[in-house]
Amino acid sequence: MTATNEQMIGRADVDDINAILAVTNTDVDEVAHAVRAEADAIFTWDYARSRPALIKLYEKAKTSQWNANDLPWETDVDQEAVAVANRALNGFTDEMDLKGTPFENWGDKEWVEFGVQSQNWTLSQFMHGEQGAMLVAAKIVETVPWIDAKYYAATQTMDEARHTEVFAKYLDSKLGEAYPMSPFLEAQITALMEDSRWDIAYLGMQIVIESLALAAFGSMLRSTEEPLLTKLLRYVLADEARHVAFGVLSLGEYYQQLTDAELKERQEFLCENTLRSRSRSATPEIWERMGVDFEALVPSLVEASAKLDKSIFTSFQNGFFAKLVPNVRKLGLLDANHGYLRQKWSEAGLLDFEFAPDTASDFESYDAVAADRAAAAAVAAA
């Protein structure tokens, strides 16, 4: 029996803006948050290196490690200047009739502050998401049964720790106070931690969330000229692309062994996460910091949501699905169970991305670390 939208995400209408806006962070002051991870830690006594593709990826991961301290932290960051340069990303001002809205009397000062707060919120979610990825990668080390996968997942845990470090340092030293974790992101990562099936941690983190991260980091990289953030993002992107490739390589082998019923569970998991990715968080924390009446803002956000679907939001979503869909196709999940997921994603218009390059083959193109080292070697040789 096929699950309904309401069963999967708690609302019949995927784009019900009022339902989306009703989801907020209920404990913004908590410092520590416990999640009960229901999974067995698995030892393996088989130390044979039997998976050449994973061995190659592990070797690549070891040579691609970089030190957060080597980034140019001395770079001055003028937040307001960055916000002005990125103003096109704000989405509202040039396309909406602001009469009668909370923005009616906004001038340059308010819009610049909105840009500043939006970037702070986005980078805060990057930071929280990377810590979540670190915890899930550590869970994969414990639960995956193959030694080659354990080795690689250990390097990913280190990568995610470094990513958390650099985003936390950028926020603290260049931007100021961070925002709490988005309730949508928290719920997504919590579900992966609580699930006892080791491959769900892979599927949710390596395939879904890391594809989302590639799109988000790539979108920000294309929209900013701030040199420290640009270099930071290039380095993080190289790691994240490798992590998606790890998921594709590992799950492709495992899913050949599952029954139709087990594959259907994974397909429905992907349907649910695809729908959840379309939730546009209205970031009430931003509006509260700016002194805007959030309830009065809702009608304007509804209109803004419709307009953003035609501009930057569409661009970001396309980047996400251009990574997600071909990777899922390579896993064999599109056509399992008589094409269940193919039909669902066709109805959502996602099959246009089916034959985009999967990340298992294009991650080398992201390798900023190798490019920088090659450039440095060339200079030294000269």
Q: Which residues contact 84 (CB under 8 A, 6 or more apart)?
A: 112, 115
What is residue 364's DSSP assignment?
A: G
pTM for the full predicted model = 0.84
pLDDT tens-digit series, residues 120-163: 999 999 999 999 999 999 999 999 999 999 999 999 999 999 99
382 residues of the chain, pLDDT tens digit each: 455 555 444 544 444 545 545 556 666 667 677 777 778 899 999 999 999 999 999 999 999 999 999 999 999 999 998 888 877 554 544 555 667 667 777 888 888 898 899 899 999 999 999 999 999 999 999 999 999 999 999 999 999 999 999 999 999 999 988 999 888 888 889 989 999 999 999 999 989 998 888 888 988 898 888 999 999 999 999 999 899 889 988 898 899 999 999 999 999 999 887 766 655 455 677 888 888 877 777 776 666 555 544 444 456 677 888 889 999 999 999 999 999 999 989 988 888 889 887 665 566 667 777 677 767 667 777 6
What is the secondary structure of 279-339 as a DSSP string? -----HHHHHHTT--HHHHHHHHHHHHHHHTTTHHHHHHHHHHHHHHHHHHHHTTTTHHHH
* Cβ atoms 275, 9 nearer than 8 A: yes
**Per-residue pLDDT at 11:** 46
**Per-residue pLDDT at 182:** 86
**Per-residue pLDDT at 215:** 87
CA angle 36, 249, 319 (to 5 degrees): 80
Q: What CA–CA distance (Å, rounded) separates 218 from 335?
A: 29
Copy the structure tokens of residue 109.
């000062």
Q: What CA–CA distance (Å, rounded) separates 67 from 5?
A: 44
What is the secondary structure of 40-93 as a DSSP string? ------------HHHHHHHHHHHHT---GGGS-TT----HHHHHHHTGGGG-ST
Q: Count Cα neighbours of 290 within 13 Å in the Cβ-side half-sphere.
A: 23
Question: Please, what's the b/e burial string for 34-53 (b: 16 or more CB within 10 A of its CB; e: otherwise)?
Answer: eeebebeeeeeeeeeeebeb
Q: What CA–CA distance (Å, rounded) separates 244 from 356?
A: 15
Domains of the chain, start order: 5-25+53-381 (1.10.620.20)
Q: What CA–CA distance (Å, rounded) separates 371 from 365?
A: 10
Q: Which residue from 188, 223, 180, 234 is spatially nearest to 209, judged by alpha carbons?
A: 188
**Per-residue pLDDT at 360:** 59
**Per-residue pLDDT at 39:** 83
CA angle 86, 117, 99 (to 5 degrees): 80
**Per-residue pLDDT at 9:** 46
What is residue 207's DSSP assignment?
A: I
**Per-residue pLDDT at 115:** 87
Backbone angles phi, psi at 311, to 5 degrees: -130, -115
**Per-residue pLDDT at 38:** 77
CA 275 to chain centre: 15
* Cβ atoms 127, 171 nearer than 8 A: yes
Backbone angles phi, psi at 199, to 5 degrees: -75, -20
CA 124 to chain centre: 12
Q: Count Cα neighbours of 94 within 13 Å in the Cβ-side half-sphere.
A: 7
| Dihedral-angle region of residue 179 (phi above 0 means left; psi in -120 to 50 means alpha; beta otherwise) | beta
Residue 12 identity (one-letter amino acid): A
